[in-house]
């Protein structure tokens, strides 16, 4: 069965109001935009004359923004510092329609900020302000209690792990157990170092480098792809594994099932920044709207094809999806067969 535009539109329209938890490393992305006209006399580095400063959500914050822009209701959970950057982060979250009651203040760590200096549309340098140590037991306790109190009416959960200290073995164990007990769909955007801790989730969405690293086998052809994909399904006892493969699209693996290859829909690729956030946000939003895992993966692939055609960290939205469908995304180009 082919997934036609009418079916895609139906699921997109049903995303509205769906409640999705997003747990992970929330960051503030700062951009300093300027021009270079000379080299510093102090060192052989360019002097950037800053013209403008902008702030956007990064990490799990960008995932939540994708969820909100699709029309769902994200509840974000993470940690921030007791600092001006943390206050600015909270303001951006709230202005973006994101419920930020789950953002815990940790006075022992700074708010994670990634500052990029850009001159003539070229990144010159990036400076990171962060403490990537694991959260204290006290802060983890607060997060677990908050999730337990607020998970009754959610339709999905995303764990967005950027390795900045929020996602721990303890947190994963307790939250995955809780979500499975309640029958809540749980998706993980992984970090290589935590890979073996993401057991018994509904879906995990590594790129092909992460997947190969986790299974200790580099993906170089169809045979190695199948070995890694089905191997991870068995190893993690996962309901499904979605390996994103860049210009080759995505491959969805399920237990006792043939692999589903989904060719890329991108016509031009300008910037892949944030594409993984778009994939997992769209997939979980569509699953919450009633789509099957194959249908959700297919629509997430369409969304990724849209955002990589834009410069900078971009988010997907309902309007972008509908516009792209109207202006020539051809689902007939895919080999996807839905059940």
Q: Can you tell me the distance from the alpha carbon of 311 to that of 278, in angstroms, rounded to the nearest whole number?
A: 14
Helices 208-215 & 222-236 angle (0-180, nearest 10): 70
List 25, 29, 99, 277, catalytic entry:
277
Half-sphere exposure for 305 (CA within 13 Å, toward CB): 24
Q: And the tokens for 155? A: 């339709």
Cα 248-251-257 angle, rounded to 5 deg: 150
Which long-range CB contacts under 8 A does 9-14 form with residues at least 24 apart? 9/322, 9/325, 11/286, 11/289, 11/290, 11/291, 11/295, 11/296, 11/299, 12/70, 12/71, 12/286, 12/289, 12/299, 12/318, 12/321, 12/322, 14/289, 14/290
- Is 277 catalytic? The answer is yes
Residues forming the active site = 277
């Amino acid at each position: 069965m082919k997934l036609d535009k009418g079916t895609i539109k139906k699921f997109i329209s049903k995303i509205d109001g769906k409640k999705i938890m997003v747990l992970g490393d929330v960051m503030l992305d700062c951009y300093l935009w300027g021009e270079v006209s000379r080299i510093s006399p102090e060192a052989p580095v360019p002097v950037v004359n800053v013209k403008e400063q902008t702030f956007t959500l990064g990490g799990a914050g960008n995932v939540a923004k994708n969820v909100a822009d699709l029309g769902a209701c994200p509840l974000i959970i993470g940690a921030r510092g007791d600092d001006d950057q943390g206050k600015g982060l909270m303001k951006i979250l709230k202005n973006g329609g994101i419920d930020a009651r789950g953002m815990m203040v940790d006075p022992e760590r700074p708010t994670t900020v990634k500052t990029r200096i850009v001159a003539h549309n070229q990144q010159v340098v990036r400076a990171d302000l962060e403490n990537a140590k694991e959260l204290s037991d006290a802060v983890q306790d607060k997060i677990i209690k908050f999730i337990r109190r607020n998970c009754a009416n959610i339709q999905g959960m995303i764990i967005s792990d950027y390795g900045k200290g929020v996602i721990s073995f303890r947190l994963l164990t307790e939250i995955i157990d809780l979500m499975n007990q309640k029958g809540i769909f749980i998706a993980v955007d992984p970090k290589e170092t935590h890979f073996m801790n993401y057991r018994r989730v509904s879906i995990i969405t590594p790129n092909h480098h992460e997947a190969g690293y986790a299974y200790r086998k580099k993906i170089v052809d169809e045979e190695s792809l199948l070995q890694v994909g089905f191997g991870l399904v068995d190893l993690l006892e996962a309901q499904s594994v979605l390996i994103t493969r860049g210009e080759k699209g995505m491959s969805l693996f399920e237990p006792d099932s043939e692999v589903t290859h989904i060719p890329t829909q991108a016509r031009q690729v300008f910037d892949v920044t944030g594409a993984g956030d778009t994939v997992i946000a769209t997939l979980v939003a569509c699953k919450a709207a009633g789509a099957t895992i194959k249908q959700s993966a297919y629509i997430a692939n369409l969304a990724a094809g849209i955002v990589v055609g834009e410069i900078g960290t971009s988010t997907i939205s309902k309007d972008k999806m509908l516009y792209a469908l109207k202006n020539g995304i051809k689902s007939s180009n895919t080999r996807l067969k839905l059940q």
